[in-house]
Structures are given as C-alpha cells and as structure tokens.
Structure 1
Amino acid sequence: MNVDIGNALASVASPGVSRESLERLDEQVAAAHERIERGMANEEHGYEALNLPERTDPDEIRAAVEPVADADALLTVGIGGSSLGAATITNALEGVEPRSTESRTQSDGTETVFLDNIDPEWVSSRLEGLPLENTAINVVSRSGTTAETLANFLVVREALESAGVDWTERTIVTTGESGPLRNLADRHDLPSLNVPDGVPGRFSALSAVGMVAAAVCGHDLKALLAGAAAERETLTGSLFDCPAYAYGATTYALDGRGAGVNAIMPYAESLETSAEWFAQLWAESLGKDDLGQTPVRALGVTDQHSQLQLYRAGPRDKLVTFVTTRESEDRPIPDTDVEELAYLGDATLGELLEAEFEATEASLAAAGRPNVRVELERVDAYELGGLLYGMEAACVLAGELYGVNTFEQPAVEWAKKATRGLLGGGDFEEADAVAEKTELRIER
C-alpha cells in the first residue's frame, strides 16, 4: 500500500502536524521499530502476528477445507476477530479474477454468510435462506468457549440435523490447542486448524482464522500472503521510508493535537467490510488508559451525502482516512438526451467515482481538515494482503508510541465475564454490577 500524508500537514490542516514535528517523531519511530523487531524475533505475544506471512501454510488450509470445497454456501460462525478478517477477504475478492490459478477461481459462486451476531430473528433469517444440504460450516473460536459463537454453532447444528444433514460431514473447526471446540473436533474427527499462538484475534486475518473462508471460496491464498510479505519488507526504522509507519505515526500525532476521531472511508464497495475490520483493530488495540482514536466507518461515495457535512464543517476533532485504488473495472455511462446531464455521457462510472473522491479530498483540504490517502493498485488478493498487514503494522507502531499494551483487551474480557455470570456460567463479580445500574426511566 502507498500512503500520502500531505493533507495532514500543519501547512494544510488544523489540527495538523508539521514536517519538523514528524522528523522529531521519527526518532521515536526508530526506537519503536527496534522494539517491534525484537518482539517479532522472540515470537512474543502480539508481535507474532507480524510474522504470519511466513508462518501461515496455505497448503495446510487447502487440505483442511477439501472435504467441503464443493459447497454452494459457507456459513462462518465467529465474532469479532474470528469473523471480520474472513469477511473482509471474501467480500473484497468476490468476483475478482486471481492473478494465478492456484485453485478454483474465486468467482465460483460460493455464497458466504457470517454469523457474527446473536439477534435471534437475524440468525433465523440467515439460516432459512441457505441450502443446508450443501452448506459448509466454519466455526472459529480460539478458546472454544466464546458464548456467542458456541450458541450460534449449537443453533446451526440443530438446523442441519433437522434438515437431515450430518453436520459432522460439513464442519471445519478453527480453534486453540485445547478447549471444548478442540475436544469436539477430536471426538468427531472433524477437519481442524489451529488459531496461531501469540496472535490476538483482531490480528489473525492472515492466518487460518481469516483464510479458511477464502480457501472454500477459491481465493488465492498464496497471493494474499505474498502481498503481506511484501509489506513486511517495507518495515524500516523511519516513517519516511515505510507507508505503514507513516500512517501509524501520523494518526498518533494528529490524535495528540485534537483529532481523536478517525473516519476510515474506502472508495470501493468491495472494501466496505475492511472498515469494520479496521474499526475493531484500532479501537480494541489502542483504546486504553484514556488514550486512542475513535474509529468511524464510512463509505465513498455513499457517505459524502450523509457524513461529509460533519467532517468538513463540524468540530475539528477528526481525521479522514481514504482508501482508494489506482485501477478498477469500469463501465460507461449511457448517453442521454437530457441537456443538463449530457456531460455524463462522455464519462464512465469509474471516472465519476475518481472525480467524487478527488473532490471530497480537496473539499476537506480546502476547509483545513486533515485527511490521509491510503492507496492500492487495485483490489486483488496481493494488494489486499498488503493492506491488512500494513494496517496491522501501523496499529502496532501507534501502540508503541502511545505506550499501551496493544495486544490486550481487558474491557472486553470484563463484559464476557459479566455475560457468563448472568447466564449461570460461573460466579463472576462483574455480573453483580449489572444489578447496580442507575435508572432514570421516562415511559409512556
């Protein structure tokens, strides 16, 4: 990926960061890079995620999914990092022809559904629309005890049994080395893959966690990892030589100057889910000790009409991160006899999209609002691998600069304990806090 931070400079935007400030910050980046390299070399928890391009075995993943490789639909049961990376990859690459013919083309028509919520009506509607007799189940949980995932898996298993389908012949498990899901996989001899040690879920897109779904859909796993590996090669001790570090350092600097909101806005419909993935990565990794930017999801051009007014004329507390591509498929706009619209007949949808992006970027700059451009050559497996890795590296770098533990999530664990306690899954003091809620009800 390439990064342009020009519109985040103090000469353009307020808040903004001067070139001189970036040069001073670069000394901290160099020290942070040494810490990151040491963590990677020692395979430390969290830092191990940045080793995934060379540690993940695409052939092992291919072998595991072979029993369901002909599935008409794939149902992934997971939540958070156990789902968003996989959804980002499959949604981005749907219908995109791979550079190589490693396996079936990814346009093979496999329908993908991600059960990442437990709303009962929504879950039921998802199941009702699937051809259960030829649906593959991909259940993902490191611990094998994630309440939402296990509850949905039990519901899915019952639905298959009611339809006369042997769920053991349709299920792949991705989990840790021990736990209920591991025991289930061993007992029923299910195809299974390991969640890599030392890799938090939100950093696991480039492992089996994110790539099982891609494999079932026929996407190019080797290209994904090659793109990530190429991005890893750019990690150096200077933000001026490394796109990922440039992004991480700039967001950190802008946050310290008042831009506490980071609105990420892809200008490709296929990358919409990547904004959801980024939101978890950024929020769960950096939101500690009263620090961290608040990620906001947007989509170009759709949200030019719903959010741009706030970004351009609202409080000066936002950075807008654009994600755009240099190349994409195009489609001409038909001619019209409406005089006021005649200019559109000389253009294509791609040209209109590019003009909308450039106008929005310039609009923010003209109003002195900081924005950064993250640019891919195109949306394909190689470029997507680079984007995922680059954003993870940027997040790790930002965590080092903030001085927080990027890889823990104590607030999330607190809520998990409270939930288990409320359902009778153990005696947790966190559950007692629910009864202590302060109320001020206004009812009709």
Structure 2
Amino acid sequence: MIKFNYQNTDEKVIGNENGLNIQAEFDSYKDRIAGIIADLNKRKDKPGQWLQWMNLGYNEETLWYVKEYASMVQGRFENILVLGIGGSALGGQAVTEALLKPFWNLLTPEQRDGLPRIFFLDNIDPDTISGLLNVIDLKKTLVNVITKSGSTAETMSQFMIVKNILEQELGADYRKNIVATTDKKTGILRQIAEQEGYKTFVVPDDVGGRFSVFSAVGLLPFALVGIDIDEIVNGIKDMDLALKNTDINENIAAQNALIHYLMDTKKGKNLSIMMPYSSRLKYVSDWYVQLWAESLGKNKDNNGDDVNVGPTPIKALGATDQHSQIQLYNEGPNNKIINFIRVEEFDNTLEIPNIFEYTGIGYLGGKTINQLINAEADSTRVALSDYCRPTVTITLPKVNG
C-alpha cells in the first residue's frame, strides 16, 4: 500500500507561520474537493475536455494490439530507439528506468533474457544524436517515432536523419524497422506512415502529451522490452478507483493537491521539490517537473483574467542532492515544499562490511545500504522540519509494476 505522510506540513510541527492546520483545512475544503472529483469523473467522457487520460487503463483494444505486435517482433531487434520529446519521452523514461534492471543497456543479452536495449532520443543535441548512432546498429534497431501532430520539429528532424540512414542501409525493407505512434487520422506523420507503409499506433484524442504514457505512447516501448503491461494496467485501474473517492480524508492524492495549493497560496511556498530516495525513480522527478509546470503554469484564470500563477517544480535525488541542494532548503528562503519518495523494500540488500574501526565510519559496519538510504531520508526530513520547512513523504512498498 502507498503511504502518504503530511505531518511535517502541520502547524503543530513547523509552526503557524509556515504550517497549516491540516485537519481544519480538510474539513473546510471537503465539499469543494468532493465536487471537483465528481465533476472530473462526470466530464471525462465528453469530447473536448482533454480528460481521456483518465480512461487509458480501460482501453483493452490498445492493450491487445500492443501485446500482439511486441510478440510478433520479439527476438528480431537488438535495440529499441524511441524518438520523442516532452510527454512522448519523459513518462516512458520514468517507467523503464524504474522497472527494468539497473544499467539495462549495459547488461549482456543473456542477462536481459534476450530482450532488446532501449534508448530515448529526447533532444536535438547533434553530439548526442551522432554519438548514439555511432554505438547502435540501426539495421538491428526498431525505431519508434512518437508525435501526435507529426510536425514536432525536434522529433521529425531526428526521424528524417534516422530514416535516411535506414533506407540507405536496408533499401525498401527499412520500413520493417519503423513503427509510428501518432494521430489516428490527421497530421504529417500519419500521412508519411500511410504512404510508406509503416506499422502505426494511435495517440488518443483528448489526451495531452504529458498524460499519454499509459496509451500506446508508453505501453508499446514497455512491452517491447518485456515489462508486464498487464500489471501496469491493473495498477492504473486500482489507482483510478482510489482517486474516485470523494472523501478527502481517504484520498491521498486529494490531500496532497490541497496541501500544495494552500502552501502556495497561503504560505508562499511556490517551489515544489521532488526528491525520490531511489535512483530508479530519478526520471520520475523529470516527469514530475513537466506534469507540474505544464498543468499549473497559467496566465489566465477560469474567468479569463490575468493571473500568471503556478508553483515552480524542481527535481532532486536523494541521497545525492543532500550534498548539493539541502543547505539552501534548510537555510535559504523558506519558500519551498519538499516531496520525498521512500522505498520500503529494494530488490537487493547490500551489507556494509565491518572492516574499519575509525570513529567516523566504524558505525556503518554491519548495517545495510538499504538502512542507510532510508535513514538519510528520515534524518533529512527531520532536519528540514527543525528549520520549519514543510515536507510530505510518499512511501512505496517496492518499485514494481
């Protein structure tokens, strides 16, 4: 079960100037929150509301087609190359980094159970593109180009380079090395795919790019590298059910949303730091930055008035950024709320050998790295609360699908 701890945002812990009377705020906003949740679920099936991402876990047709295609091409390619930017890449990177074995692309084929490596090209830096194309054999690579419009300059310029090389090396057979994920009917990439005869998958209507990861945009790359997408979809359904709960005292997402809103509007905490204590969740912070910034950065309110609002998201990684950012968060301007993610059970347990007796490090011997990273997360949270800095903590049982 996912746990959400907000006690270090309460005025009892960090004082009235920086903290909230949490239960009083929950009671005050409970009817408004219930109405918002009910309204979202009422509107999600209506065209033009851009809420179809809420239904992605129930698209059995897409799930079937993705699994069928992944099975069909299994064993044919050494690499998967995803061409995309923003929502076409960030969610996919976050999930693959979290669910594949660490250093996946450095493992031998045997260690990967014969599954391909996966690379994301999400920028147009010429050195990075050239460097990647120098280390992978495109003839043995399945290229998944993702853009709903087909006119995304960054993605299409990458695709034009890769297509040209493939066509030179494979001739007409190059088409077997390309799969396009794009709009169902319109757009430049849809036209190209139909003219050239590429296999295609659909970016659904009324789904913003940043929310598209659980459509074919993400499910296809996941399936191609052996991630169990049935388990992912089951998790989506479980979370969807939990988020339909209109009682703020039982809906942790609603609690987190309200706390962040009030911290921004009442307490001046307009910087939101995402800091997972797990390297496998590093790209969750990158994705969070996009989700937060694109969803909440607004220049107009619902009445059309100028407001120019939105808390600024910042990515961090525990324990690494304890040694680069935390001093600022402790001693600098008190204008931030820090989001920790802890993992209760890691896949591996590493014991620290008891080989030194020096006072400064001897205490580490006999402990595990697992204990150390979670102890550092806890102590960092306590230190921040001592400085009256608000924090929330999400605890995951494991990192899995």
- TM-score, normalised relative to structure 1: 0.80
Q: Which amino acid aligns with 2:158?
A: N
Aligned match of 2:345 in 327, 333, 343?
Answer: 327
Kindly provide the CA deviation profile for residues 175-198 of structure 1, in whole angstroms up to 9, marking residues without a partner as x. 002222112222232221100111
State the shift of 1:108 in Å.
Answer: 4.7
Task: Specify every segment of 5 or more residues in structure 2 that has no aligned partner in the other structure, as ranges.
Answer: 103-109, 300-307
Map 1:308-323 → 2, pairs under 5 A: 308-323=326-341
Q: Which amino acid aligns with 1:172?
A: V
Aligned match of 2:288 in 260, 264, 278?
Answer: 278
CA contact (8 A) 1:93 1:106 kept: no
2:281 matches 1:263: no
Kindly provide the CA deviation profile for residues 34-71 of structure 1, in whole angstroms up to 9, marking residues without a partner as x. 21111124355322111111125322112233453322
**Partner in structure 1 of residue 302 of structure 2:** none
2:353 matches 1:347: no
State the shift of 1:164 in Å.
Answer: 4.2
Query: Residues 43 and 349 of structure 1: is their aligned pair in 2 closer, same or farther, counting only changes over 3 Å?
Result: farther
Aligned match of 1:62 in 63, 67, 70?
Answer: 67
State the shift of 1:335 in Å.
Answer: 2.2
Q: Which amino acid aligns with 2:287?
A: W
Matched position secondary structure for 1:234:
helix
Kindly provide the CA deviation profile for residues 345-367 of structure 1, in whole angstroms up to 9, marking residues without a partner as x. 21111111111111111111111
CA contact (8 A) 2:342 2:395 kept: yes
Map 1:33-432 → 2, pairs under 5 A: 33-42=37-46, 44-55=48-59, 57-70=62-75, 71-95=77-101, 108=114, 110-164=116-170, 166-177=173-184, 178-235=186-243, 236-256=245-265, 257-289=267-299, 290-328=308-346, 329-340=348-359, 341-381=361-401
Q: Which amino acid aligns with 2:239?
A: E
State the shift of 1:253 in Å.
Answer: 1.1
Measured in 1, the distance between the counterparts of 2:259 and 2:64 equals 38
Kindly provide the CA deviation profile for residues 360-383 of structure 1, in whole angstroms up to 9, marking residues without a partner as x. 1111111110001112111001xx
State the shift of 1:232 in Å.
Answer: 0.9
Query: Residues 204 and 116 of structure 1: is their aligned pair in 2 closer, same or farther, counting only changes over 3 Å?
Result: same
Measured in 2, the distance between the counterparts of 1:78 and 1:65 equals 19
CA contact (8 A) 1:64 1:191 kept: no
Kindly provide the CA deviation profile for residues 249-273 of structure 1, in whole angstroms up to 9, marking residues without a partner as x. 1111111121100000011101101
CA contact (8 A) 2:115 2:226 kept: no
Q: Percent identity?
A: 32
Q: Which amino acid aligns with 2:295?
A: S
**Partner in structure 1 of residue 105 of structure 2:** none
Moved more, 346-355 or 53-62: 53-62
Matched position secondary structure for 2:395:
strand
Query: Residues 367 and 106 of structure 1: is their aligned pair in 2 closer, same or farther, counting only changes over 3 Å?
Result: farther
Measured in 2, the distance between the counterparts of 1:106 and 1:17 equals 48
After superposing on structure 2, the runs of 4+ consecutive aligned residues of structure 1 that deviate more than 3 Å are 41-44, 65-68, 104-109, 161-166
Count of residues in Structure 1 that have an aligned counterpart in Structure 2: 374
CA contact (8 A) 2:87 2:210 kept: yes
Measured in 1, the distance between the counterparts of 2:88 and 2:334 equals 34
CA contact (8 A) 2:83 2:146 kept: yes
Query: Residues 117 and 299 of structure 1: is their aligned pair in 2 closer, same or farther, counting only changes over 3 Å?
Result: same
Matched position secondary structure for 2:204:
coil
State the shift of 1:15 in Å.
Answer: 2.3
Kindly provide the CA deviation profile for residues 269-320 of structure 1, in whole angstroms up to 9, marking residues without a partner as x. 0110111111101100110021111000000000000000111111111000
State the shift of 1:211 in Å.
Answer: 1.5
Measured in 1, the distance between the counterparts of 2:111 and 2:147 equals 28
CA contact (8 A) 2:356 2:365 kept: no
RMSD over aligned CA atoms reads 1.9
Query: Residues 79 and 123 of structure 1: is their aligned pair in 2 closer, same or farther, counting only changes over 3 Å?
Result: same
Task: Specify every segment of 5 or more residues in structure 1 that has no aligned partner in the other structure, as ranges.
Answer: 97-103, 382-444
